[in-house]
Amino acid sequence: MKKWKYFRYDEFKCPCCGENKTDPKLIDMLDKARELAGVPFIINSGYRCEKHNKEVGGKSNSAHLKGKACDIACADGFSRFAIVNALLKAGFVRIGIAKTFIHVDIDDEKNLMVMWVY
């Protein structure tokens, strides 16, 4: 498996079954964004199996199920700004912002150039 500067592939595995189908392109882009942000990216949720996705209330068409999404922990406004700014510069075009995390995905079967709040 490819090596990244800031991430390990197993950080993205499903916590309930250990399965991991994360698209390496997602991690490539995250690694670039992390370099630009200058703040840690703690992955709360990466790949999800069907069972785990249901347990956490994920949508039935969630990009997490395809290994094309992750949620990054975010505790304050400074980190939130740094992370979102870096994600945009790294080429992400699908970003969701919640109080405690930032969702990012590369699911090109969904609307692009969107940012939403939870």
Q: Is the domain 9-117 a CATH 3.40.50.2300 member?
A: no
**Among 87, 91, 90, 89, which residue's Cα sits nearest to residue 103?**
87
Length of the chain: 118
Q: Are 83 and 41 in contact (CB under 8 A)?
A: yes
pLDDT tens per residue across span 2-41: 899 999 999 999 999 999 999 999 999 999 999 999 999 9
- Per-residue pLDDT, 76: 95
pTM (predicted TM-score): 0.94
Per-domain residue ranges of the chain: 9-117
Render pLDDT for 52-95 as a digit per residue (tens, 0 to 9).
999 999 999 999 999 999 999 999 999 999 999 999 999 999 99
Picking from 22, 24, 5, the residue whose alpha carbon sits closest to that of residue 13 is: 22
